[in-house]
Amino acid sequence: LLNINASDKVHDISDILYGIFIEDINFAADGGLYAEMVQNRSFEFTNLASDNEKHAWSDVGTVTAKVVKGDKTGCLNANNPNYMVIENKSDSDAGIANEGFLDGMSIKENTGYDFSVYAKGMDSYTGPLNVKLMNGSDVVGSGTIENVTAEWKKYELKLTSSVTSNKNVKLQVTIPKGKIAVDMVSLFPQDTYKGRKNGLRKDLAEKLEELHPGFLRFPGGCVVEGATIETRYNWKDSIGADSSGQPFEFNGTYGDVAARKQGQNIWTDERATNDKYPSFMTYGLGFYEYFQLAEDIDAVGVPVINCGKCCMGQSDGNGPSLDSAEFKQYIQDALDLVEFCRGDKTTKWGKIRIAMGHEKPFKLKYIGIGNEQWGDDFFKHYEAFVDAFNDAKKTNPALYGDIELMFTAGVDDGDSGKDVYMEAYNEAATWLKAHPDKTINDFAGAIDHHYYNEPSWFLTHTDYYDEKNYSRTTDNMTTSTYGGGMNVFLGEYAAQSNTWKAALSEAAYMTGLERNGDIVKMAAYAPLFGNLTALHWSPDLIWFNNNTVTSSVNYYVQKIFAKNAGTTLLKSDMSGATVASKPFAGKVGVGTWNTAAKFDNAKVVSNDNGKILGKDTFTKAENFSKYWEKATDGNWSVKNGKLVQSSDVTNTVAYGNQGSVAYFGNNTWKNYT
């Protein structure tokens, strides 16, 4: 019997325990969630595609189509230096066509698409600019832009597709005889998630909403670290900043995707199974859009920012020296992020958020500093962030007062993980000792744990965060099995396959997370998206291609837990000794039990096809004693053929299973073989 006392509360469970983690791995953002259909829309690929600026583009007709680089005065803006010049000297239409991402563009019959382009007529050319949606050689949607000016200007059109097609669909931009420059050639489905401009693929975003996530961690992962410090993810680039990190004004506004510098993604082509596809980031799905998505799915945005070091596995974790002005800028960037999310129109970065269209502050509480980084040098970097935020909390409590930083600790690969993490707990303890006036929360709101292990690891570690293993006080944070004292952000985890076995082991593990929801504040499966056409990492939670999306079995586990998340842990215990539906196919004394058996107070209350000496009690159980005698933990003995615990006989049940004996009593299950 399971006894639960509704008024006997053990502790509250974090109200944002189950969340999601989005990283642009497996082409999850560009070519995935971000609904842009044109690949290499601003011709910035260059070295990211083996110096092929025309990557994803092909010529149409007899044309000279060339990417112009290094034209500082004639380009669209400094963050978008390349553009395409199309020159047609023939008597037929000619120009360029884009093939889309990965497995190409997908279009639906009678559906609208938003086309836009920046263009300028050259050598007095004023138009037209013909835009066509092609399905193979058939025109299945078209429009024309007239009166093109000699200066860069944005032009927009709506195209409607007359067919449904997921193969060989291209977007063509052509002109009759003449010369024109184009940039930011873009095509979005009109039906994006929540109908947002520069929006997200509806089917993929709805999958996220259905998960009921409490938080959204973004944008990485290794993506944040970068393969080199120069190619790290800089949140300011993702909303449009100039080369010195200041807000970048373009066409009288801020945040325009045409004014965002493109970035190189750490998940490069060599890591993908299909090396045809270079990996880059348009930042079209940038920090603004991530926070907007978090709000749309009713989650708290949990940004992760670079700590001043790149990926340790890639370039030995290089970065600027601790005392350099360059490193101080990383800290300033973190402080500015809070202002971007919370500041009003009188603040420098709050004003940018408002200009981008979000008057209300974005929800923010936790900021991850670094990802999977560890060691003394990382600790010193982290400590500098801590000092700066603690100062900011004092000088501007309204803006920074409740912000919590998260310390990272590397990745647990099963056996050695304990040691990897313990280094971080030692560092935290050292910090506390040196700051006797501070609490552990002044150091870290949580420690970021990651693990990608076998299903068996998850099954055997459901008690990982139980108090016996993970201390609730800082006193024992370095002596408990897995550390303690700090709240936990389980930023990434997954049992290594998309199978029932893995999903069930994750479910078992999640019961442990929920039971310890006082100390485990957030947890997210990773990675979130797997692109069926080109892949860096598997297993993943959600699989997609250009027109479909599929949930893994692991997805349903996440969904069940998040939709039915507990709020409070109540005290419970097991009494009676009912073993319900325990699969059973062994021998007990005389007679065979083929299926489940139920016990109550040492009495068999049901047993399918089973026989025990023709009786339903254990009172004549001499035949069992040979097994029971093996219950040798000291508290148990056999009296009158019964398995007896000195003070408690009623909670006792025993069964034998192919030579083993188990007992069940007071919530404990043990096997004796």
Distance CA 250, CA 248 (A): 6
Tokens at residue 407, please?
Answer: 């310390």
423 is catalytic: no
221 contributes a contact to ligand AHR by CB under 6 A: yes
Closest approach, Cβ 417 to ligand AHR, in A, equals 13
Backbone torsion region of residue 365, taken as left when φ is above 0, otherwise alpha when ψ lies between -120 and 50, otherwise beta? alpha
CB nearer ligand AHR, residue 450 or residue 559: 450
What's the one-letter identity of residue 381?
H
How distant is the alpha carbon of residue 131 from its chain centre?
A: 37
The Cα 462–Cα 510 span in angstroms is 8
Token pair of 73, please?
């005065």
- The smaller minimum CB distance to ligand AHR, of residues 16 and 526, is found at 526
Q: With respect to ligand AHR, which residue has the nearer C-beta, 265 or 651?
A: 265
Could you give the string, one character per residue 165-204, with x where binding to ligand AHR holds by CB under 6 A and - elsewhere? ----------------------------------------
Minimal CB distance residue for ligand AHR: 221
Q: Does 489 bind ligand AHR (CB under 6 A)?
A: no
Quick check: 537 binds ligand AHR (CB under 6 A)? yes
Q: Provide, rounded to whole angstroms, the least separation between the CB of residue 620 and ligand AHR.
A: 59
Closer to ligand AHR by Cβ: residue 496 or 645: 496
Q: Given the complex with ligand AHR, which of 84 and 526 has the nearer CB atom?
A: 526
**Number of residues this chain uses to bind ligand AHR (CB under 6 A):** 13
DSSP annotation of 163 reads: S
Q: Which stretch binds ligand AHR (CB under 6 A): 53-61, 215-223, 343-351, 597-605?
A: 215-223
Comparing CA positions, the residue from 500, 664, 647, 465 lying closest to residue 582 is: 664
The residue among 371 and 531 lying less far from ligand AHR, judged by its C-beta, is: 371
Instruction: Report how far apart, in Å, the C-alpha atoms of 434 and of each of 302, 439, 478 are.
Output: 29, 11, 16
411 binds ligand AHR (CB under 6 A): yes
Q: Which of residues 510-529 bind ligand AHR (CB under 6 A)?
A: 526-527
Q: Specify whether the CB–CB gap between 30 and 101 falls below 8 A.
A: yes
CB distance 432 to 442 below 8 Å: no
**What is each CA distance from 601 to 509, 611, 619, in whole angstroms?**
30, 18, 12
If we measure between CA atoms, which residue out of 523, 52, 44, 35 comes closest to residue 258? 44
Asked if residues 188 and 171 have their Cβ atoms less than 8 Å apart, the reply is no
Active-site residue among 225, 372, 492, 514? 372
Contact 186, 36 (CB under 8 A): yes
Q: Which of 492, 498, 521, 642 binds ligand AHR (CB under 6 A)?
A: 492
Q: How far is the CB of 20 from ligand AHR (least distance, A)?
A: 12
Half-sphere exposure of 216 (CA within 13 A, CB side): 25
Cβ of residue 336: shortest distance to ligand AHR, in angstroms?
24
| Residue located via tokens 């325009």 | 256
Residue 371 interacts with ligand AHR (CB under 6 A): yes or no? yes
The verdict on 399 binding ligand AHR (CB under 6 A) reads: no
| Member of 13, 16, 22, 25 binding ligand AHR (CB under 6 A) | 25
Contact footprint for ligand AHR (CB under 6 A)? 23, 25, 220-222, 371-372, 411, 450, 492, 526-527, 537
Residue numbers annotated as active site? 372
